[in-house]
Amino acid sequence: MKVESNMGTHYFVTYSCQNYIHRILALAESLENQDTECHLLIYTEDKKVSDIIAGYSFKKVSAVHFPEMYSEKYEEIINNRSRVGYIFTCKSFFLEDAMERFDGDWFIWIDGDTSFFAEPDSVLNLRSESILLTPHRFTSSFEIFKSQVGIYNAGVAGFKKNEIGKKCLSDWKLKCIDWCDAYVDDENQNFADQKYFDELSRKYEDHIFIPHAGFNAGPYSTLERNVKKEQNTIYIEDSPLILYHYQGLKILSPRWVDYYAARNYVPKNHRKFIYKPYFDRVQKYTLELLPKYAFLKNTFPKIHFNDLKIQLKRKLEHTSNLGFHL
């Protein structure tokens, strides 16, 4: 597979398995709708997933079939961590592979539960730095997590295809190979692949670019801030929204969603401008794929009696984040 590129082309890189395909297609469409020179590379070890993506004929999106993800080459790493921890570890593998396959400027990891609201080129073009990191920018109710999960959010992390960018990416990869799993390691003060960026940001201090607050915004940075829409642009306070990270969003069925599966309340404007349009898109792909692919039924959680009690309590307290989409 070859993607035509030129100087200034930027590549976003993500991963999908069968259970995430509806969210990944929603992400793909969100980039496809932008006036951008950027390209999305979706890594997967699953041929069925890559075939589904290819079937949509996106112009700015490519599936990269990566069967070696579960080869003997990585057997020792696979056996020492959970599946989620291993996927976290593989982020750096995918980015290095993308740099080898494609000519481009920035190579940026983005989690699959993200969505573009505007073109990202204006943020990325003409930057002289080699590393892109996005702080959580925690609001007050999320600040308690900072010491556990770190300053930066690993849902978005970028590296230029130059000496410094490659060196930092390699450092991150080696740290993740040493340890990376989906929990807080209190003994060594680590969390997944994420908290390593606290240390790496100090080592590469002079080479780091931190974009504005609308690039990898999320509930941790926005739920207590004002969201508004002016002339088709959504703003988080005064920052135009480019990329949103739907951390904590839980899809319950093709029509029911918990916009944030925690006690933090998602305000009305956030739902209207950010959450509802996203789930409408996810729902569209879910309903398209369900008749053809039975595996999608396994993506919806089993609802237990205690879950219903919690939701009822939150409904009575006017803090429910449940949404129903026809």
Domains and CATH numbers, the chain: 11-324 (3.90.550.10)
Distance CA 235, CA 228 (A): 5
- The tens digit of pLDDT for each residue in 19-32 reads 999 999 999 999 99
Q: In the prediction, which pLDDT does 80 show?
A: 87
- The tens digit of pLDDT for each residue in 97-115 reads 999 999 999 999 999 999 9
Q: In the prediction, which pLDDT does 86 show?
A: 94
Q: In the prediction, which pLDDT does 1 show?
A: 41
Token pair for 217: 């915004």
Contacts for 232 with CB less than 8 Å, ≥ 6 apart: none
What mean pLDDT comes out for the span 155-166? 98
Q: What is the pTM of this model?
A: 0.94
- DSSP labels for 205-237? GGGEE---TTEEE-HHHHTTS-EEEETTEEEET
